[in-house]
A and B are shown apart, each in its own frame.
Chain A
Amino acid sequence: MEPDKKINIKGLVCPYTFVKAKLAIEDMEIGQVLEILLDYEEASRSIPKSMEDHGHKVLKVEKINDTDWIIQVRKEKD
């Protein structure tokens, strides 16, 4: 699925990984998809969980190489 917005938060650790992801999704419209590129393993688990806690839909969590993950989230509420 082609995302509406992509952010690269490689090099960031918790909680700034989620802070950046949350600020990005806040500025989007409901129904739009955010793609997050990250390299902090813990965040590959915590961001999907936090996004769901905030009411959004996690579409994909994928390890794309030795160091990086891609997460896609669809905005479900303001």
Chain B
Amino acid sequence: MICRLLRENDDDNDNSVAISSTTSLAAEKESTLRNDNSKKHRFDITDVANVALFLAVFVGLWQLVTLLEIWPKTLLPPPAQVAISISELITSNSLIIGIATTLWRLVAGFAISIAVGGVVGLAMVKFQGFGKTMSSFAVGLLTFPSIAWIPFAILLIGFNDLGILFVVVMASVFSVMISTYGAIRNVPPIYIRASKNMGAHGFALFRHVMIPAATPSLIGGMRQAWSFAWHALIGAEMLITTLSGLGYILAVGREFNDMSQIIAVMITIFAIGLLFDRAIFLRLEEKVRSRWGLNQHAE
């Protein structure tokens, strides 16, 4: 919940306020990227100051609430205790292993989604009847809560990595499918006509015109699919017990009533989410937008 709130706050801020030290690095990279045209590698001190201020206020409020002792310290630990918990998790290696396992699952699941969703999406463009039917089917499954796949995955596949991957793929593949289908169908016809006139057809038309023309909206679609995959992954890790992964550490924290471990993992999950979005998707999007001249109004 806190993560959500923070994330929203973060998105609202134009200067892309980042929370942890790792993410502030990403924010710096992003701000230099944004100013790529005019001022290269400009170090924006106000961005860093904003982040620091935001962090200070947040941690201060948290400390204040714990000092009021509305809840016992075991239920709402102060920031310092959570920091200790984080360092313990790091020294015992369980956090690093957890992050590695979770990221591996995320990357694998997302890659499968892009491959399958992309191919099916392209087939939907190619075969119109199939496209029409499949798009309503896919929209239905797109809105389907990913957590509802978990009982199905447990019984069909079992408590293992494949079961988790299945849930992750199911959560994101339809988003990839729909956005591929939509992005390619929305390519301005003038580009198609001009390139046909210049002799492009079949695969060349696809490769050299449709795909690049659809890229800005494709990236948007991938971004959304990635966030679906991420949501589903943590949920699946909590419910499909495999003795590893961030979701599992979170679930263990609940089992042992260890609130500081829970909060520590929540912060990690938040940081990874922010890092991926800023470091990969936002960067890609910015790159494409600046090439197309779409970010003129932002400057």
Do A and B share a complex? no
Chain B interface residues (CB < 8 Å from chain A): none
Chain A interface residues (CB < 8 Å from chain B): none
